[in-house]
Structure 1
Amino acid sequence: MKTTADLLLHPVRLRIVQALLGDRRMTTAALAAELSDVSTATLYRHVATLTDAGVLEVVDEQRVRGAVERTYALRLSAAQVAEEDLLAMSPEDHRRAFMGFVAGLLADFDRYTGRGDVDLRRDGVGYRHAALWLSDEELAEFAADLRRVVEARAGHGPGDGRVRRIFTTVLMPSTP
């Protein structure tokens, strides 16, 4: 039996989950177009794995030229690494997971910059480091504030001039 960490931190499955974030519903063909560097057979295998694990759910089925085309949605509650799995991971497991996370982020940025029409200001793209001196209590308050800000906007759907944007955070103590 795979742990949620084993299931979700695989590079291809992580990208599938990320593609469906923001209440997106996609067919395997739409996922294949978005993850064009992943072979069709590999994509189908990982979609099946995530569906069998309850991370993806089939929200629609259409007959297309004799085949059934399924539309998938993310079950956000199932798309999170369980606390007990995180606690059981070794430092090396965390390094590998973080490397997969960063590699996915780099791939997203490569796809963005590779599209040709790149304007960081227009597109609202930014990346920066900030150092904050926070007690444990202040850190908990900061995290709660940030969670409220994101949750207030997480329910927005497509339309009204909205562009799907990826928001990524990494928070860790610095070394002395």
Structure 2
Amino acid sequence: MAGMLDAMASSEVLLHPVRMRIVRAFLGDRALTTTQLAAELDDVPAGSLYRHVALLADAGVLRVAAERRIRGSVERTYTLAHAAASLGAAELAAMTPEQHSQAFLAFVAGLIADFDRYLAAGTPDIVRDGVGYSMNAVWLTDTEFLEFTRDLATVFQSRLANAPGEGRRRRVVANVILPAPDKP
């Protein structure tokens, strides 16, 4: 399998819809066994899930954090290798418009599926749970835009270090930044 991974671009590894869901499950510095992951992604067949986890581990996206013997087999606990779980600027630049369209579609489809699961999990309380979705437009020069993205990164970075704890709930924050089309 390692030979296959050498030939496979990390974009091909990461941009598969099921593998994107697996990566999202680990966000927030979570450590999960495949059994725990299977419980969260209960609509993914077990054999398929194990193959995707193995591929992500072989690609260095998931790391084995612990192993323990259970009835003659080894249960592995995985964590996310953040650097390997994102595409670099060179990979993004090399992608075709069709590949970007497929990647964005998988991203949005994952968000829709997560939202549907949230709604189906009981009686949702959008206000209590802090759920939000909105769209805004801002007018920024290129310099102002760089400052804006740096400000966002600073806000996120200071909170990414938060560990799970009493009163803390894991929240997934997704953002999309799109430029408006140039005027004709």
Q: Tell whether the structures are fold-level matches, with TM greater than 0.5.
A: yes
- TM tier relative to shorter chain: over 0.9
Q: 2:118 aligns with which of 106, 112, 116?
A: 112
Partner of 1:70: 76
Residue matched to 1:167: 173
Aligned 1:8-157 pairs, distance under 5 A: 8-157=14-163
Q: Percent identity?
A: 53
Name the SS of the counterpart of 1:60 in structure 2: strand
Q: CA RMSD in A?
A: 0.8
Q: What CA deviation, in whole Å up to 9, does each residue of 1:147-174 have, x standing for no partner?
A: 0000000011111210000000000111
Residue aligned with 2:76, SS: strand
Find the aligned partners of 2:59 and 2:102 in 1 and give their Cα distance: 22
**How far off is 1:84 after superposition?**
1.4
User: Which deviations, in whole Å up to 9, do the C-alpha atoms of 1:104-148 show, x marking residues without a partner?
Assistant: 000100010011220010000000000000111111000000000
Counterpart of 2:4 in structure 1 is none
Which runs of no fewer than 5 residues in structure 2 stay unpaired?
Answer: 1-6
The answer for the alignment partner of 2:3 in structure 1 is: none
SS at match of 1:168: coil
Structure 1 residue 82: deviation in Å?
2.1
Q: In 2, Cα distance between the equivalents of 1:35 and 1:82?
A: 27
TM-score after normalising by structure 1: 0.98
**Bigger CA drift: 18-27 or 61-70?**
61-70
Amino acid at match of 1:78: A
Give aligned pairs, total: 176
SS at 2:12's partner residue?
helix
Q: Letter of the aligned partner of 2:66 in structure 1? A: D
Q: Which runs of 5+ in 1 are unaligned?
A: none
2 CA distance for matches of 1:82 and 1:10? 17
SS for the counterpart of 2:65 is strand
1:135 aligned partner, one-letter code: T
TM-score (norm 2): 0.94
- From 147, 152, 164, the equivalent of 1:158 is 164
Q: Quick one: distance in 1 between partners of 2:129 and 2:161?
A: 21
SS at match of 1:165: coil
